[in-house]
Amino acid sequence: MTLPSSFLSCPTGLRRVAGALATLLGAAAFCAGASAQEAWPARPITIVVPYPAGGSNDVFARAIGRRLSEVLGQPVLIDNKPGAGGTLGTGIVAKAPADGYTLAAVSSSFVTNAAVQPRLPFDPVKSFAPVAMMAQGPFVVAVRADLPAKTPAELVALAKQRPGKLNYASSGPGSTNQFATELLKSSAGVFITHIPYRGMAPATTDLMGGNVDVLIASGPSLQPALRSGKVRAVGITSAKPSATAPELVPMAQAIPGYSFGIWWGLLAPAGTPAAVVQRLNSEINKIVEGPEMKAFLLREGAEPAGLTPAQFAAQIQREIPYWQKVAKDAGISTE
């Protein structure tokens, strides 16, 4: 179309042409963005596990990743990036493109780390978009097989009889294991010496070898040790009996008010499109509520959580100041 020269020389006409072009360009950009969003996922998705293979984060990420791959029609890759108590791998995801193709498999240690590490390479709230909880459950309180304590009451009584002589293992300073045990100690009024390890593997190995007395950890982390017969479970950390371990007595029966739970979830980089986050949340919630996955989670000592992204985000924001107070009261520090 040819416009009259008089129209083009008119400022009003020029503004109209410019406005029309801007509208057309904006519409084209919108359509391109919508098409890109509708195309997700168009390539493999990576779940970064910030711990070594074999731990609970890894176990759940692999189980859910396989099923997520089936429903999304794209490979879901697991990339173990251990280091710095989980902050190395999580930091990689914080800096990844916010396109829904890179996720972090985290657990409650994400908030306990945030409570005791003031110089994290990311903001635990602002750097991520919480996607979905994979599972939740209580910890198991385990002891070496020859320790003369088979119930929560017997363990508390033994700790009171031998103040400072019993010891407990953790996967490292500031770990959820340490938080769970220090909370137990303060609630029961007992003193048990802390022996930190570099990860769950050496901690469980020394528990099996009889070099430490107590280890409070997740069901997936303790299963091999418990099956070996060299370690015995004496209770669970939930306030009430749990379907994850119906044969175990809650520690709260011997320690009124004591309760500790762990969760596992997926985070995306902040700014990931809301539609992508919602799609992932919906698919993951359907996966964990399926009968096969629910049975798997129960065997591993966990249950579905079923939170929305907003609910998951609110829980993270709520837990960080709570564990900061616990850390201050118990003197928990990574330095």
Domain 45-136+262-330 CATH superfamily: Bordetella uptake gene, domain 1 (3.40.190.150)
Distance between CA atoms of 107 and 135, rounded to whole angstroms?
9
Distances in Å between the Cα of 168 and the Cα atoms of 71, 183, 192, 200, 271 are 43, 13, 7, 13, 41
The pLDDT of residue 20:
47
Count of other CB atoms within 10 angstroms of residue 315: 19
DSSP run (H or E) holding 77 = strand 76-80
The pLDDT of residue 281:
98
Q: Which of 20, 13, 18 is nearest to 5 (CA)?
A: 13
Q: Which of 56, 58, 84, 65 is nearest to 262 (CA)?
A: 56
CA angle 221-226-230, nearest 5°?
A: 125
User: What separation, in Å, do the N-terminal and C-terminal C-alpha atoms of the chain show?
Assistant: 72
The pLDDT of residue 38:
56
CA angle 276-282-285, nearest 5°?
A: 135
Torsion of CA 210, 255, 249, 332, to 10 degrees: -50
Please list, in sequence order, all residues whose beta carbon lies within 8 angstroms of the beta carbon of residue 30, skipping any fewer than 6 positions away.
none
Beta carbons of 263 and 312 less than 8 angstroms apart: no
Q: In 189-290, where does DSSP find H-type helix?
A: 200-208, 219-228, 274-289
The pLDDT of residue 135:
94
Q: Which of 173, 294, 301, 284 is nearest to 225 (CA)?
A: 301
pLDDT in tens, 206-227: 999 999 999 999 887 888 899 9
Distance between CA atoms of 272 and 289, rounded to whole angstroms?
25
Q: Identify the three-state secondary structure at position 242.
A: coil
- Paired strand residues for 142: 215, 233
- Length reported for the chain: 335
Distance between CA atoms of 307 and 296, rounded to whole angstroms?
19
Distance between CA atoms of 114 and 122, rounded to whole angstroms?
10
What dotted CATH number matches 140-259?
3.40.190.10
Indicate yes or no: pTM above 0.75.
yes
The pLDDT of residue 238:
94
Residue 275, token pair as written in the block: 């539609």
Sequence ranges of the chain with CATH classification 3.40.190.10: 140-259
Residue 60, token pair as written in the block: 């759940």
Residue 162, token pair as written in the block: 């031998």
The pLDDT of residue 7:
43
- What does each of the 335 residues of the chain score in pLDDT, given as a tens digit? 444 544 444 444 444 544 444 444 444 444 444 444 458 999 999 999 998 888 889 999 999 999 999 999 999 999 999 988 889 999 999 999 999 999 999 999 999 999 998 889 999 999 999 999 999 999 999 999 999 999 999 999 999 999 999 999 998 888 899 999 999 999 999 999 999 998 888 999 999 999 999 999 988 788 889 999 999 999 999 999 999 899 999 999 999 999 999 999 999 999 999 999 999 999 999 999 999 999 999 988 899 988 999 999 999 999 999 999 999 999 998 76
The pLDDT of residue 24:
45
Distances in Å between the Cα of 180 and the Cα atoms of 57, 114, 238, 241, 272 are 18, 16, 11, 17, 33
Distance between CA atoms of 272 and 130, rounded to whole angstroms?
10
Q: In the chain, where does DSSP find H-type helix?
A: 5-8, 11-39, 56-72, 87-94, 109-116, 152-161, 176-188, 200-208, 219-228, 274-289, 291-299, 309-330
Residue 213, token pair as written in the block: 């007395």
The pLDDT of residue 16:
52
The pLDDT of residue 14:
42
The pLDDT of residue 301:
86
Sequence ranges of the chain with CATH classification 3.40.190.150: 45-136+262-330
Using a 10 angstrom Cβ sphere, with 0-12 exposed, 13-18 middle and 19 or more buried, the burial of residue 310 is exposed
